[in-house]
Amino acid sequence: MKLIYREAQVADIAQMVDVRLSVKENILPDPALIPASEYEDFLTNRGKGWVCGGGNKIVGFAVADLQQHNIWALFVHPEWEGRGIGKILHNLMLDWYFLQTQQTIWLGTAPRSRAEGFYRKNGWDLAGVRPNGEIRFEMTYHNYLQRQATTF
């Protein structure tokens, strides 16, 4: 399947939920915690999202939130991990975010997870532990620009 990356649409939400519920780490304990209406709010009001897929099947997605200045989601279906999908979605999201604002962006992820290693490798700085036990990472505009300079 040839993969394409594009802006997420409301019509993609059901498949985005499927990807979110398929992951083996950072598992959502109760799918009802994040209803489809919340996905729609993030895609249409709070920020923007991107999907990766092909043949009418979404295999990964990412969403940035401009209101809270955070990464709301970045997930790849386990069957599609290790192919660079997460990195491309990550880069699309950060490029868009920092075109909108220079404000530091943050995210939370489970400690000792592969996601923790992914964010460390991609230039995020450890900024503490969130009240829910997740690790908090931050990316400043300056660090983003430095990362861009070393990527090319």
CA distance linking residue 44 with residue 74, whole number of Å:
17
pLDDT (0 to 100) of residue 2 = 92
Residue 82, exposed/middle/buried by CB under 10 A (0-12, 13-18, 19+)? exposed
> Model confidence over 66-96: pLDDT tens digits?
999 999 999 999 999 999 999 999 999 999 9
pLDDT class of 149 with cuts at 50, 70, 90 = confident
Fold of 4-151: Aminopeptidase (3.40.630)
Q: How confident is the prediction for the chain on average, in pLDDT?
A: 94
More confident residue, 27 or 41: 41
Residue 152 has pLDDT above 60, yes or no: no
Cα dihedral 33→37→41→44 (10° resolution): 140
pTM of the model: 0.93
Q: What single-letter amino acid sits at 142?
A: H
Return the pLDDT at 132. Answer: 92
Tens-place pLDDT, residues 120-129: 999 999 999 9
| All residues at 6 or more sequence positions from 30 whose CB lies less than 8 Å from its CB, including other chains | none
